[in-house]
Amino acid sequence: MVENQKSVFWKAAIATLVIFIVGLLLGVYIESIRTEGIQDGYEDLELRWQDSKLRTDFYQLLGRDFCEYAIEENLEFSDAIYARGRQIELNEQANKFDEKLIKEKRKYALLKTEFFMNAILLKERCNADYHNVVYFYKDDPNSDFEKQEQKVQSGILGDLKEKYGRDIMLIPLPIDLDVSVIDIFVSTYNVKETPAVMIDESVVLHGLHSFEDIESFL
Amino acid sequence: MNALTIVYLFYILTSLYFSLVTLMVFFKNRSKYFDDTPEDYTPSLTVLIPAYNEEDTIADTLNSVLASDYPKDKFEVIVVNDGSTDRTEEIAKTFEDRGVKVFTKPNSGKPDSINQATKIAKGELIGIIDSDSHPESIAFRKMSRHFKDERVGAVTGTALVKNKNNLMEKMQAMEYALIAWTRRILDFLDSVFVTPGSLSMYRKSALNEVGGFDKNVMTEDIEIAWNLLRYKYKIRMESIAHSFTLAPSKLKVWWRQRIRWSVGGFQTFWKHRKYMFKTNYAMFGVFVIPFFLTHIILSFAGFSVFLGVILHRLFNWVILASYSVKAGEGLARMPEINLLPNVLTVFGILLVLIFLVGIIISLRTLKKAEVKIRFSFIIYALFYLTTFPVILIVSFFKWIKGYSEW
């Protein structure tokens, strides 16, 4: 009886391989679409950033008051860049082939440092009354303990942002993505460990800190 | 790509292959599934009913067996009373005036009881029926015709569940139907590897040749089948011969039964492991044993991945909770749910769909199982099946420790 059935084993093997390869390709395709989406998102943000900067520069050239506009733009950019950061994180969790979106994350980190420096500058020039809250963390924590500690700290900062809204600029910066300007921040502000929260470039809180702890420095 | 993803993809690949083989064999042979060739072949048959403390069920079973349309002059029925301490013997003896013989012996277990009774059986064929099973009247006649082929050593029927009242029984009704369906598919591949006690028939000379049932294996019905295959006998599955059996109604009984089946499976595999990949034993060496081993590996791999993920998440949740408490936060932050699809999601959904198609086809094919695709179907597909790897792991360790409870 089995003699008539032997072809089934080969046919099933071929069908399995075809389905498996198609599935893998589909998986790779889904991930590449997501990565492309991140890249597009980055380009949009970058364009917006350049546009905003040029407008601010032009207002300055004309001698017009640029502060109100620049602060508003910075705050909106803060929200947008935070949302994009979350999107990358979720994509990274879902990806199985292109697990580490290092390049994209470094590009975003650079954009965030530029934004951070602008936030400092605006505060000085325009007497803006928002607080810069910089969160130093590791993109690739060494252990589950570090990972969960960062998760709790990140959640607390998210709650803080929710409570204070546009009164704070929340800027998460990964310290382990080999971005030299962030390395300079780390040494300049004497950040010794992660997680660390820096408030208004004057106070650095190392380790896990509660909502109330951080709030007391605002 | 991490190690967990690789294990998962291996799991998908092998499961996909065996699922496709099953479906392709079914569709290729669908018209022959209930093949009812008209010719009869009815050599003398002795039906053995091994019984140990079966006073509640033995009478019904005997009534079913005696209702058989097998030629009466070639039909012998022996109740093998395995040292029962209840009224089994007394009840069985009330059937003596209808030709039933009662063979009482000290308790020595089912395999030994069958072996002893085979020696006194007059039939050229030996039918075996559990004392809580009820074969249809046509069952023996439909099964016996396969023995016209001298290389057929055993024939098994379609075992279905009689009691379908509570959820537990309904789950098993689905399971039995699915098993019967796949067994018929394995028949097309000359790879039927179990002749269940609820309804099976053997050529007596074949039983004698392989040395009868092994007393040291907990699933004598698997071991005898493997032994027959090793001796190059064919085992056939007769899909139109039904037997309705009583499935365990209680979780504890069901659990013990499953542990026994799985431990017996391990014992059988271990006994015959040296024949794996040996081509001179036909499908036994190249398909049956590797198929069995793959099933075990898949179950272990699937369970390990599942357990690994769950434990890792649990561990992380504990750390998260402790840090949350340390930071004066609430214990339970809402866990983040990431619904973005990836390659594992695609394959996972595909495999579940293929499996569900298999279940639906089997239930629709085996109408006599009278299992409706309703709520219990979802419970079966989502929860009942996931208990199997757990049973397998527990059984594995019990087997290593030399478990031998019946």
Lowest mean pLDDT among A92-101, A181-190, A195-204: A92-101
Give contacts of B350 with chain A, Cβ < 8 Å. 19, 23
Say what percent of chain A tops pLDDT 90.
23
Q: What is the mean pLDDT of chain B?
A: 88
Is some CB atom of chain B closer than 8 A to the CB atom of A33? no
Comparing A193-207, B1-15, B233-247, which segment has the lowest mean pLDDT? B1-15
Tokens of B297: 């590996």
Superfamily of domain B1-406: Spore Coat Polysaccharide Biosynthesis Protein SpsA; Chain A (3.90.550.10)
pLDDT for A127 beyond 90 = no
Q: Listing from the earlier edge strand, what are the strands of the sheet with A203-206?
A: A168-174, A131-137, A196-199, A203-206
HEC assignment per residue over B29-46: CHHHCCCCCCCCCCCCEE
Alpha-helical regions (H) of B29-107: 58-66, 88-93
pLDDT category at A90 given cuts 50, 70, 90 is confident
The pLDDT value given to residue A89: 76
What DSSP letter does each residue of B194-205 carry, written as one string? ---TTSEEEEHH
Cα B29 to Cα B35: distance, rounded to the nearest angstrom: 10
Q: How many CA atoms lie within 13 A of B255 on its CB side?
A: 7
Measure the CA–CA gap between B237 and B35, rounded to whole angstroms: 11
Q: Give the model's pLDDT for residue B91.
A: 96
Are residues A206 and A196 in contact, defined by beta-carbon separation less than 8 angstroms?
A: yes
- Lookup: tokens for A195: 């997680």
What pLDDT score was predicted for residue B50? 96
Give A-chain residues touching B347 at CB under 8 angstroms.
23, 27
Place of tokens 């791999």: B301
pLDDT of B286 higher than 60: yes
Contact in structure between B163 and B269 (CB atoms under 8 Å):
no
The top-scoring range by mean pLDDT among A51-55, A146-150, B58-62, B170-174 is B58-62
pLDDT of residue A98: 63
pLDDT beyond 90 at B106: yes
Distance from CA of A108 to the nearest CA of B (A): 21
Kindly report which listed range (A33-37, B48-52, B98-102, B119-123) carries the lowest average pLDDT score: A33-37
User: How far is A181 from chain B, CA to nearest CA, in Å?
Assistant: 30
Average model confidence (pLDDT) across chain A: 84
Specify the pLDDT at position B261. 92
User: pLDDT class for B405, splitting at 50, 70, 90?
Assistant: low
> Coil, strand or helix: which one is A173?
strand
Residue B369 confidence (pLDDT): 67
CB-closest option in A34, A90, A152 to B323: A152
Contacts of A183 (CB under 8 A, 6+ apart): A175
pTM (2 d.p.): 0.77
Q: Where does the pLDDT of residue B38 fall: very low under 50, low under 70, confident under 90, or very high at 90 and above?
A: low
pLDDT tens figures, B177-210: 889 999 999 999 999 999 998 999 999 999 999 9
Residue of B nearest to A13 (CA): B17
pLDDT > 60? residue B282: yes
Give the residue with greater pLDDT, B66 vs A63. B66
Domain ranges of chain A: 1-129, 130-218
- Residue B259: per-residue pLDDT: 93
Position B373 confidence tier, pLDDT thresholds 50, 70, 90 = low
- The answer, yes or no, to whether residue B338 has pLDDT greater than 70, is no
A130-218 CATH:
3.40.30.10
pLDDT for position A97: 66
User: What is the ipTM, given to two decimal places?
Assistant: 0.76
User: What's the pLDDT score for residue B350?
Assistant: 84
Mark yes or no for CB contact B343/A27 under 8 Å: yes
Share of chain B above pLDDT 90, in %: 57
pLDDT band at B406 (very low <50, low <70, confident <90, very high): low
**Residue B291 Cα, gap to closest chain A Cα (Å):** 13
Q: Is A4 a residue whose pLDDT tops 70?
A: no
* Cα dihedral sign, A16-A20-A21-A23: positive
Which pLDDT score is estimated for B378? Answer: 77
3-state helix, strand, coil in chain B (%, to 5): 55, 15, 30
Asked if A151 reaches chain B (Cβ–Cβ under 8 Å), the answer is yes
| pLDDT attached to residue A70 | 80
Distances (CA, A) of A178 to A161, A181, A186, B279, B368: 27, 9, 12, 58, 68
With an 8 Å Cβ cutoff, is A8 touching chain B? yes
Spatial CA neighbour of B140 closest among B75, B206, B219, B73: B75
A79-84: long-range contacts, CB 8 A cutoff, minimum separation 24: A80/A45, A80/A48, A81/A45, A81/A108, A81/A111, A81/A112, A81/A115, A82/A161, A82/A170, A82/A172, A84/A38, A84/A41, A84/A42, A84/A45, A84/A108
DSSP B336: P
Is residue B340 within 8 angstroms of chain A, CB to CB?
yes
Interface of B with A in 205-224 (CB under 8 A): none
